[in-house]
Amino acid sequence: MKKITFIFLIIFSINSHSQLQQFRATWLTNVDSYVLTTDAAIVEAMNYLSSIGINVIFPVVYNKGYTLYPSQIMNNLFGAPTIPDPSFQNRDFLERLIIEAHRVGIEVIPWFEYGFSSSYSQNGGHIVARFPHWATRNNQGQLVVKNGFDWLSGINPDVQNFLISLIMEVIDKYDVDGVQGDDRLPAMPVEGGYDSVTVAIYRSENNGSNPPNNPGDPNWKRWRANKLNSFFSRLRDSVKSRGQHYILSSSPTPFPWGYDEYLQDSRTWAQNNIVDNIIPQLYRYDFPSYQTVLAQSLSQIRNVNPSIYFAGVLIKSGSWVISSTMMSQIINHNRANNVNGECTFFYEGLRANNNEIGNLLGNNFYNQPALVPYRNGNIWRPKATIKNENESGVNITGTWSNYPMPGFTGQVIRTNQTSGYAAIEYRLDVPFSAHFDVFAFLTPNTTWTQQARYVIYSDNDSSVITLDQSNLNRRGWQKIGTVYLTSGNKRVVKIDNTFLEQGRWLVADAVMIMINRKLSPNVIVTNVKETNNSAELIPKEFLLGQNYPNPFNPSTRISWQSPISGHHSLKVYDILGNEVATLVDEYKEAGKYEIEFKDVETLHGVSLPSGVYFYQLKVGDYIETKKMILLR
């Protein structure tokens, strides 16, 4: 079937082809970081990263031999659909992250951190226990362990197919913008390759001869590196089969050290355009050392393919955090050497010391918006179009009232009208013609309706979906449909009380549309209208929400918003005024927050008796207290 390319030249005040193009990325990990462990942390992080000019994130999705997203492949092979960490079980963090990142115009490229490593000092972990022949061996027949990491054979076809299947699972399941391997994908310690599968392949290609016993033999190194290169080319073909727009990214160790120690032939990857971007890990703890490693990397990698080259910069490792002086020196040195951007390892380094490095970037080096360089001057991820329930273009029928629960911005509105018709209809300015995912912002509570009727409109049709607004597991932006819309002011969503039960509430808040790149990969967006969505992310007023559920047993959630940054204190008191729990006691940026309180999370770690309790928020001079009830 012939592909049709839709070109939309949206003429507004900004010409993207004259706009700065610069790569500004960061890695998000699940080690030494809590950014991925809760939905609220993800929302706050994406708002912050957008505010400081970040345009690409690399979230870890494969670590210690487990996926962090729910994987059918992992479930089929190992009976383990995700990593054994409660923060990632019964929750799809990647789906939430993609929504929140794309909402603010940030590309998401999942990072398969462990690659061909199976575990860390666990004798191969659960993968080798299940498939012993997947392990790579040294010339003594022992499992290869290097710097604590246990290794699989990157030459074994079964191992290669396993990694490709995980990567394609992510591409097929999620609306991502690419995928990334690093110093372990593809890679294999130079000591490896003596496992039976690799030896058999070598014999079949070398007249029955065994591999050299010396792992550093130049021809033996080249043969193994070529096998990894062939795998990477095959991976590229698999990724590009789903669409040329998917980015294959690599962050190898610096060449030639990476080749000598891990058979990573990153120079060949750059020369042969196997990867769309390459970000060598130029990790150093002082500026002179960074200058040295950058110079070598420029000569070995960048000079063979300048347009795909960016710098990997270490900003945090354990308790060490880069100084603002060194960070400034590095970026100035990068630009002086025509390095058009960097990726920082890792997110928490941006937020350390009251956001010192992040604010340095946002206020100085990244203070002007920038397009992602390899998108050819086009905007691949335009920011979402959002309509709040209290804005013009929203038509309200029936009796609705404000309710003091934080929504996307401000409060929500609700109705319990069951006689007569009550509805709220949203018209949005559709910026260009494309397939759009449609989202509603949900603020669940146990007294809300279980049958909220949403009508979603395309240009020529409509569909109906019924949502349970009382489901406490569905909060924040929730996808309710996908439609094709042409540009212009369009009716997109209606919520009405057709199915509202007696005694329950129908709730409405903001709605949102974002381009679906799986269905509209060929839509070219060269210009978009500047919106004030970023300003809307900062609340205009203090608000302490009513906990929900209330009454509760054994846990409840408390939300609040603050228009200012500063020290936040959230404590729980009994009816006599005795403090029983401290939920928050730290500096926080202006924004919206939510936290779960379990009745056993007290100062003394004991369960609370039934009764009335109070929770109090203090931010600067603002103090507000609300009541909640625990029922056994």
- What is the residue type of 359? N
DSSP string, 255-322: TTHHHHHH---HHHHHHTT--SEE--B---SSHHHHHHHHHHHHHHTGGG-GGGB-EEEE-EETTEE-
In this structure, what DSSP letter does residue 605 have?
A: S
For residues 143 and 461, give the distance between their C-alpha atoms in angstroms, rounded to a whole number: 60
412, pLDDT greater than 70: yes
Tokens standing for residue 334:
């990068």
Q: What percent of the chain has pLDDT over 70?
A: 95
Report the C-alpha dihedral over residues 237, 152, 27, 243, rounded to 10 degrees.
10
pLDDT of residue 12: 33
Are 581 and 603 in contact, with CB atoms under 8 Å apart?
yes
Fold (topology level) of 385-533: Jelly Rolls (2.60.120)
Q: Which residue has the higher pLDDT, 44 or 537?
A: 44
DSSP string, 95-130: HHHHHHHHHTT-EE--B--STTEEEESSTTHHHHHH
**Residue 551: cis peptide before it, omega within 30 degrees of 0:** yes
| pLDDT tens per residue, range 319-351 | 999 999 999 999 999 999 999 999 999 999 999
Bridge pairing between strands 178-181 and 247-250: parallel
Domain with CATH 2.60.120.260 in the chain: 385-533
pLDDT of residue 424: 97
Going by pLDDT thresholds of 50, 70 and 90, the confidence category of residue 15 is: very low
pLDDT of residue 528: 64
pLDDT of residue 597: 86
pLDDT of residue 529: 60
Going by pLDDT thresholds of 50, 70 and 90, the confidence category of residue 16 is: very low
Task: Determine which of 35-44, 288-297, 554-563 has the lowest per-residue pLDDT on average.
Answer: 554-563
Are 348 and 316 in contact, with CB atoms under 8 Å apart?
yes
Going by pLDDT thresholds of 50, 70 and 90, the confidence category of residue 537 is: low
pLDDT of residue 18: 58
For residues 124 and 114, give the distance between their C-alpha atoms in angstroms, rounded to a whole number: 12
358, pLDDT greater than 50: yes
| pLDDT tens per residue, range 45-100 | 999 999 999 999 999 999 999 999 999 999 999 999 999 999 999 899 999 999 99
Determine the Cα angle at 304 with ends 300 and 306, to 5°.
Answer: 105
436, pLDDT greater than 90: yes
| pLDDT tens per residue, range 164-184 | 999 999 999 999 999 999 999
Are 372 and 107 in contact, with CB atoms under 8 Å apart?
yes
Which ranges in 373-472 belong to alpha helices (H)? none
pLDDT of residue 556: 86
CATH of domain 24-117+154-188+220-375: 3.20.20.80
- Rounded average pLDDT over 221-231: 98
DSSP string, 537-592: TS-SS-EEPPPBSSSBSSEEEEEEEESS-EEEEEEEEETTS-EEEEEEEEEE-SEE
| pLDDT tens per residue, range 283-326 | 999 999 999 999 999 999 999 999 999 999 999 999 999 999 99
| pLDDT tens per residue, range 94-124 | 999 999 999 999 999 999 999 999 999 999 9
Domain with CATH 3.20.20.80 in the chain: 24-117+154-188+220-375
Please state the pTM of the whole predicted model: 0.86
Strand partners, 455: 464, 494
Q: What is the mean pLDDT of the chain?
A: 92
Secondary structure of residue 189 in the 3-state scheme = coil
pLDDT of residue 623: 92
In this structure, which CATH number among 1.10.8.60, 3.40.50.300, 2.60.40.4070, 2.30.30.90 belongs to the domain 543-630? 2.60.40.4070
Q: What percent of the chain has pLDDT over 90?
A: 82
| pLDDT tens per residue, range 230-275 | 999 999 999 999 999 999 999 999 999 999 999 999 999 999 999 9
Report the C-alpha dihedral over residues 382, 387, 391, 397, rounded to 10 degrees.
160
Task: Determine which of 325-339, 392-406, 560-574 has the lowest per-residue pLDDT on average.
Answer: 560-574
